Amino acid sequence: MKNLHGTDQRTMAFINLYGVLGTLEELCTLDGRAREILGEKRMAVGFQVSNGPCATLTFDHGTCALSEGTDRCDIKLPFSTPEKFNGMIDGTVTPFPSKGLTKVRFLTKEFIALTDLLTKYLRASEADLKDPAFFQTSTTLMFYTIASAISQIGNEDRIGKASASYIPDGVILLSIQDGPAALIEAKNHRLKTVKQLGTQPVSARMEFGSMEIARDLFEGRRNSLACIGTGEIKMSGQVPMLDNMNRILDRVGLYLA
């Protein structure tokens, strides 16, 4: 299913799993309440979407890690279509486990509490954003969601794949000055977001000048070209990588609006 912007439900499912739910990894690192919700529990929740993504979120003593596949999950949630998985994210579809029915209380208690907390940060109110600490965490989580969405759109979205086809092999460092950073790795025109920085050489860099500038760009209050002109966004390295990543970044807003 596509809409007027050319977005599609299958790509949205990849973004929802790897971008949105994947940001629970950082939520558990950044917010003590998330760790309190989980306590000492260990539970692995698998999501298998027909004609879509398949991955497991493993919660372990206040931490969260996303991994490919559902072979080692305790609870497995199958979805017959990407639309139904997206419906779960939107709160309009209630999934039924194919494995771990006796452990479903984790879904209705801890998992829901975590996703509600994540939503509070990603769909922040103006009142909440007046708190500097909340603003910092909210913008950091938004950054990681967007960084992950770039790769999913480059790999799955029709227009995004066209842009990715022009990105040569290499690594783009995406960062906010004095804030979070992530790598976008390109290989054979497939993209992968890495949220832990390594020692690999970087082919291109794009840095937002501050958390405030990044937030304004993410929410469409500033124009990226204007910010490049004023030096509020700094770019260096291979121009084709940056140009085509920026085209993909433009699509992110259509999916995450």
Specify the CATH number for the domain of residue 245: 3.30.1050.10
User: Distance between CA 219 and CA 185 in Å, rounded?
Assistant: 25
pLDDT interval class at 5 (50, 70, 90): low
Which among 175, 245, 251, 244 has a CA at the least distance from the CA of 213?
175
End-of-domain residue from the set 69, 101, 123: 123
**Domain identity same for 103 and 167:** no
- Kindly report which listed range (13-22, 53-62, 248-257) carries the lowest average pLDDT score: 248-257
Q: Is residue 209 part of a domain?
A: yes
End-of-domain residue from the set 102, 123, 144: 123
Average pLDDT over residues 101-120: 96
What's residue 67's pLDDT? 97
What's residue 1's pLDDT? 43
Q: In this predicted model, what pLDDT tens digit does every residue of 163-201 receive, in sequence order?
A: 999 999 999 999 999 999 999 999 999 999 999 888 889
pLDDT interval class at 226 (50, 70, 90): confident
**Domain identity same for 136 and 210:** yes
**Domain identity same for 119 and 144:** no
Print the domain residue range for 89.
9-123
Q: Is residue 4 part of a domain?
A: no
**Domain identity same for 103 and 56:** yes
pLDDT interval class at 6 (50, 70, 90): low
Give how far Cα 206 sits from Cα of 29, 33, 161, 184, Å. Answer: 24, 32, 20, 11
